[in-house]
Amino acid sequence: MKPSSLLRRSMTLALVGAVACEAPTTPQSALTPGEAAQAKAASGSDEVVAVSPLLQQINARLASSKSNFRINSAQLLYSTKALAGGAKATLLLANDRSRGIGAEWVKGDPRRDGRVGVTYAFGSNTGVAPFTRDADGSNVRQLSTAEQSAKIDEAVAAWRALTCSSKPITRVSVPEGTDPDYLDELFRGNPAGSPNYFQPADIVEAGWQPPSFFETIDGPDGDFVIGITFWGTFVDNEGNHTDIDRNGKEDLAVAEIYYNAGFYYGTRAANSVDFFSILAHETGHALGLGHFGKLFVTAKDAADGISVADVKYAPFALMNAAYVIPNQIQGTDNSQFCQIWASR
């Protein structure tokens, strides 16, 4: 597996028990992602670190516009095809030992209007919709905007339902005539960005994008990316990342989530990626949860090539750096969430 060409701070991998579909999408122009410089893994993780010229350009643009945040890092989910080639020895896919992402939403942050919790919004200016189908491959159709919205609300509600905190996670609307997601125009080939961009919420569920969008982010490997969450953290007037509550973690300012429309999505269907598993996993990242757990394939299992059934977990969790079967919030996910949100 080669490292992503985008990530500035951390790259995390995940698998899915499905392959890319051939659903038609509108072709989009793409930027050249540039060459990434590989660095050592982040503390508490065996994951790959890569530096991205493209992301550096985006942050330079934010700085020139006097924005009070910078895009910090991102996490990607890959399909099973990203593991093509097998292994001759035990393959460690992920070994994440630290919880969280190194940044958190500050309780009562004045830069977020003093909110204790977070807000989220669903919206995009692309009009791209995911395809779904029945388990036997029939009844192929695209989901309406209302159906997409309901799926996202279901994923958010699962985190809100955890009982360790009042943790308000409130949905807000996107103002009419505005573009709620900042990064999509840049990755789709518009270096000027969107002229009507307006951040409506702390977390922007930016919906689905065509496969070409993810190819811009990750080059040829973009075809394997199912979803990606970007984080932005606040900076002061000198451009230094802030930690106003002095908890040793940078202060989150915004999160944007994108999903790949080049996959079929379903509800626990054998030939689709599971809506809830993917949406809840990425929303967990936006809430501040990182990947956690050890994922590996033994030499014996890999002898005839790697398959979904070969992957082992320690422990099994929604926030594992791998999705191979439909999943729900598990005990480890609950404890990681409560570690961040229980004081709110």
How far is residue 340 from each of residues 79, 139, 174, 318, measured CA to CA in Å?
29, 42, 27, 17
Instruction: Say if residues 148 and 127 touch (Cβ distance below 8 Å).
Output: no
CA distance 75 to 88: 27
Determine the 3-state secondary structure of 23 from DSSP: coil
Instruction: Say if residues 129 and 263 touch (Cβ distance below 8 Å).
Output: no
Q: Which H, E and C letters describe 81-99, residue by residue? A: HHHCCCCCCCEEEEEECCC
The string of pLDDT tens digits covering residues 231-290 is 999 999 999 999 999 999 999 999 999 999 999 999 876 788 899 999 999 999 999 998
DSSP H or E run through 275:
helix 275-286
**How many CA atoms lie within 13 Å of 8's alpha carbon, on the beta-carbon side?**
14
Instruction: Say if residues 226 and 259 touch (Cβ distance below 8 Å).
Output: yes
CA distance 68 to 56: 16
DSSP count for the chain of H helices, then E strands: 7, 16
The string of pLDDT tens digits covering residues 175-222 is 999 999 998 888 887 877 888 999 999 999 999 999 888 888 777 767
- Output the pTM of the full model: 0.82
Determine the 3-state secondary structure of 287 from DSSP: coil
Spatial CB neighbours of 273, under 8 Å, sequence gap ≥ 6: 16, 17, 18, 226, 263, 264, 265, 266, 323
pLDDT at 95: 64
The string of pLDDT tens digits covering residues 51-105 is 556 677 788 888 888 888 888 777 666 555 554 444 334 565 666 666 788 899 9
Task: Using DSSP bridges, classify how beta strands 312-314 and 203-209 pair: parallel, antiparallel or unpaired.
Answer: unpaired
CA distance 5 to 255: 20
Task: Using DSSP bridges, classify how beta strands 250-260 and 225-234 pair: parallel, antiparallel or unpaired.
Answer: antiparallel
Catalogue all structural domains in the chain, each as residue range(s) with its CATH number.
Answer: 37-341 (3.40.390.10)
